[in-house]
Structure 1
Amino acid sequence: MTHATLSRTHDQRLRAMYRSAGWPCLDAIEIDLLAAGLLERVCHPAGPENLRVTDAGLQHLSTTLNRNRAALDAHEALVERVCEEQSRNGRIAYRGLTLLAKPDVSWLHLRPDVFSICNTTVEDYVEPIVFEVKVKRADLKADLKKAEKRAGYLAMSSQCYYVLAEGVGDADDVPPECGVMIASGDSIRMLRVAPKRPMKIGFGSWMALAKADRYRSLVDPAPLL
């Protein structure tokens, strides 16, 4: 097995081996890592055999960590762009906000990438919107399998959008109950408008908003007309 064909599960096991005493699991994942030269067996004359991450394994871990950091940086940069655009549109945006939603019979703790509301004193005009940001296709596909999470986002918002980095996906990938935006260059364009539903924010969500720090734009938003 080559390094290019190793999965995330292989990477997770390799990191676990690096942090542990290296006790073998004797499974297929371990065989792949040994065959790729990322792990090696260490025999002790007076004790059991254990495993050690090789120099090649350390290099693979470093490459994986740098790739993950780059993806995280790209994700946070796009979250920032969505917040900035919401602010320019006269809305109040929050990121990293944990909210409660009850799409069915049980409550869910959800953390949308961006949550925004209209800057208004009239409750009926608040129009909360959830934005889920994806910069990797694998993350988009994994997220789309979480129907309960998506139902929770719909239960807490008047509209729910997926904001996708260019090349990650298109409107056909996302269920019709959600809107789709594509981020490319310096612009975020609307690919499909999300269905809008009447929505009032519950008391618990108002308390969470009151305790949270809103996004502060570095550029003053244009005055509302």
Structure 2
Amino acid sequence: MVEALLTRHHRARLLQIWRSAGWPCKDGIEIDLLAAQLLCLHTTPEGRDTLRLTAAGIEVLADARRRGVRELGAHDRLAQKFAEQLMSGGRIVWRELSLRAAIDAPPPEHAEPPQPPDESALWNDGGTDVTTPASVWRMARPDLFSVRNTSVEAYLQPMVHEVKFTRADLLSDLRHAAKRQAYQWLCSECHYVFPVAVARPEEIPDAFGVWVLHGSLDDGRFEQLRPARHARCTLPFAVWLALAKATPLRGDTDGAQAMLGDALPSLP
């Protein structure tokens, strides 16, 4: 009964009261929590009402925390599993890089009607265009960023793979168009990776590829349901610098290459 009642707003209010002095808001959410006996009302000698979590309320927060830890662990395991597939295909993979990307500037909230351009304001003394830029910078942190293992820049084919283990996480990501645009600016192809039961391919924007996991994290297999739209992408210098500072993941095949560095046996 309690689990059917609770929403993320109820859990957020429980956490807020746990962190605060317990001053009540006296709204509908607190009525629900009091009726479910997750909160109890105390009155101070001065006549002020305060709220305290009951043992059941604390258990609700503890259970939500345990589920969050499990989901985070499953997300990391899914990302690692797909990274191993990318590395086995000859790609170099990085986890959770912080990269700066250019996206379209959002329109102003109260845009004025366009006015005829003033030629005297378009150019400064040096002849450089000083009009408002058409893009802004945003920090992106893709789950997996990879390039082909090649020495030819034109063949790098940078890719971004966003890993989503739960439907709630996927839907939250799909609501942020600027975040998706930043991913696309950084790579030639962008894909979503999630368990097969999380979403249908038609729920994902057409430009993005779709990979799904069939089975468990331990012995499941990946299937590509839809390829991503390919676009030409030349890695900017800032991305090169971030890759140079970061350490790529090491796969099981790295040990097989160690022999290439061994010294040759001495000749008689």
TM-score range for the pair, normalised by the shorter chain length: over 0.9
Within 5 Å, which residues of 2 pair with 1:1-225? 2-104=2-104, 105-185=135-215, 186-220=220-254
8 Å CA contact retained: 1:102, 1:152: yes
Structure 1 counterpart of 2:182, which letter? G
Give the ranges of 4+ consecutive aligned residues of structure 1 lying more than 4 Å apart after TM superposition. none
Separation in 2 of the partners of 1:200 and 1:47? 67
Deviations 1:81-129, CA, capped at 9 Å, x for gaps = 1111111111110111111111211111011111111111211111110
Structure 1 counterpart of 2:209, which letter? G
Query: What percent identity do the matched residue pairs reach?
Result: 43
Structure 2 counterpart of 1:149, which letter? K
Separation in 2 of the partners of 1:11 and 1:73? 21
Separation in 1 of the partners of 2:137 and 2:32? 41
Separation in 1 of the partners of 2:169 and 2:236? 30
Separation in 2 of the partners of 1:200 and 1:57? 53
Residue 207 of structure 1: how far off its partner (Å): 0.8
Q: Where does the alignment leave 5 or more consecutive residues of structure 1 unmatched? A: none
Deviations 1:43-82, CA, capped at 9 Å, x for gaps = 1113521110100101111111111111111111101111
Structure 2 counterpart of 1:2, which letter? V
Equivalent residue of 2:94, what SS? strand
Residues 183, 127 of structure 1: alpha-carbon distance in 2 compared, 3 angstrom cutoff? same
Please give the root-mean-square deviation of Cα atoms over the aligned residues, in Å. Answer: 1.7
Residues 17, 65 of structure 1: alpha-carbon distance in 2 compared, 3 angstrom cutoff? same
Residues 217, 45 of structure 1: alpha-carbon distance in 2 compared, 3 angstrom cutoff? same
Separation in 2 of the partners of 1:5 and 1:174? 30
Structure 1 counterpart of 2:157, which letter? E
For the pair shown, the structure with the greater C-alpha radius of gyration is: 2
Q: How many residue pairs align between the two structures?
A: 223
Residues 37, 219 of structure 1: alpha-carbon distance in 2 compared, 3 angstrom cutoff? farther
Separation in 1 of the partners of 2:155 and 2:44? 71
Deviations 1:106-157, CA, capped at 9 Å, x for gaps = 1110111111111112111111101111111112112111111111111111
Structure 1 counterpart of 2:229, which letter? P
Structure 1 counterpart of 2:247, which letter? D
Residue 193 of structure 1: how far off its partner (Å): 0.6
> After alignment, is 214-223 or 142-151 more displaced?
214-223
Residues 52, 219 of structure 1: alpha-carbon distance in 2 compared, 3 angstrom cutoff? farther
Q: Where does the alignment leave 5 or more consecutive residues of structure 2 unmatched? A: 105-134, 258-268
